[in-house]
Amino acid sequence: MQPLLYRELVPWYRLIDPPADHLEEVECYQAALEGAASPRPETLLELGAGAGNNAFHLKRRFRCTLTDISESMLDLSRELNPECEHVPGDMRSLRMDRVFDVVLAHDAVMYLTSEEQLEAAALTAFTHTRPGGAAVFAPDYVRETYRESHHLHTGDDGARSLRCLEWTWDPNPNDSTYVVEYAFLLRDGTSMRAVHDQHVEGLFRKSTWIDVLTSTGYAVQPAPRKLSEGFSDEIFVCRRPLG
């Protein structure tokens, strides 16, 4: 079952994850896709587009088709990006019978918790990438860069306010998952409630990512992604060869 953040808590989503927060990383993805695809890319497919925060910026450059497994999240994206095409679908099994210049799979890939699921999503991306086109896979972590962390999120919108503690931890370092716990305090006027939402996410070694993406037919090159507070990590830039 999908986490509460993508079901019952969707009306609160913009307060925890506003589109403006995605600009810097989107600039990284756009540069990577433009640098890897030839000729100049014009069409983009995003797998796991969620509320459309990446597309809000990318649509200025690409004609975007956005897919997600959650209809409620796609509805949020439709409000934000009415000019974009929206298609319900699971990145592990989606087939659209057409190809795109570039494909983006952002942090939604973190919900792939086994190598088999990772392989299925990689095949979906490859199948929808034209020869000479490119894809970017941007997981939050690989095993080598994972670290326990916590963050406080705040958001206010008129009578509604959100405070959320996000705590990322790994109960079992010997498996291929970690856990993100969200503790929400949600105030609507004079009403206050608390909600706990747990997300189980996948965690794979860098070499596993490269092996899986290469096995589909991509040529894979890790590239840096700047993070806040002077940190950086890597994304996987994939090119589908011509012919």
Over the stretch 43-54, which tens digit does the pLDDT of each residue have?
A: 999 999 999 999
Tell me what the mean pLDDT of segment 22-38 comes to.
95
pTM score: 0.95
Looking at residue 232, its pLDDT comes to 61
Report how far residue 182's alpha carbon sits from residue 233's, in angstroms, rounded to the nearest whole number: 23
Q: What was the pLDDT predicted at 28? A: 94
Count CB atoms within 10 A of the CB of residue 76: 20
Per the CB < 8 A criterion, the answer to whether 212 and 118 are in contact is: yes
pLDDT higher than threshold 70 for residue 132: yes
Give the pLDDT band of residue 226 (cuts 50, 70, 90): confident
Mean pLDDT, rounded, of the chain: 95
Instruction: Tell how strand 43-47 and strand 100-105 pair up.
Output: parallel
- Helix, strand, coil shares of the chain, percent, nearest 5, are 30, 35, 30
* DSSP β-ladder status, 160-169 and 149-157: antiparallel
- Cα separations in angstroms, 130 against 19, 80, 133, 182: 29, 28, 5, 39
Q: Which two tokens stand for residue 206?
A: 């860098």
The confidence score (pLDDT) of residue 230 equals 58
Cβ-Cβ contacts under 8 Å for 203 (sequence gap 6 or more): 141, 142, 143, 146, 170, 176, 177, 178
What is the pLDDT averaged over residues 160-174? 97
Distance CA 73, CA 124 (A): 20
What percentage of the chain exceeds 70 in pLDDT? 98
Instruction: Give the per-residue pLDDT at 228.
Output: 64
Please give the pLDDT value at position 23: 93
pLDDT the model gives residue 224: 87
Q: What local confidence, expressed as pLDDT, does residue 225 receive? A: 85
Cα–Cα distances (Å) from 90 to 48, 95, 131, 217, in that order, read 8, 9, 23, 21
Looking at CATH, the fold of the domain delimited by 149-202 is given as S-adenosyl-L-methionine-dependent methyltransferases (2.20.130)
Q: How far apart are the first and last CA of the chain?
A: 40
User: What residue ranges do the domains of the chain occupy?
Assistant: 4-141+204-239, 149-202
Residue 231 has pLDDT above 80, yes or no: no
Mean pLDDT score, 107-130: 97
Homologous superfamily of 4-141+204-239: Vaccinia Virus protein VP39 (3.40.50.150)
pLDDT at 233 over 90: no
Q: Sorting pLDDT into bands at 50, 70 and 90, what band is 229?
A: low
Q: Kindly write down the DSSP assignment for every residue of 135-192, as one continuous string.
A: EEE--S--TTT---EEEEEEEEETTEEEEEEEEEE-S-TTSSEEEEEEEEEEEETTEE
pLDDT tens per residue, range 178-221: 999 999 999 999 999 999 999 999 999 999 999 999 999 999 99
- For residues 107-135, average pLDDT: 97
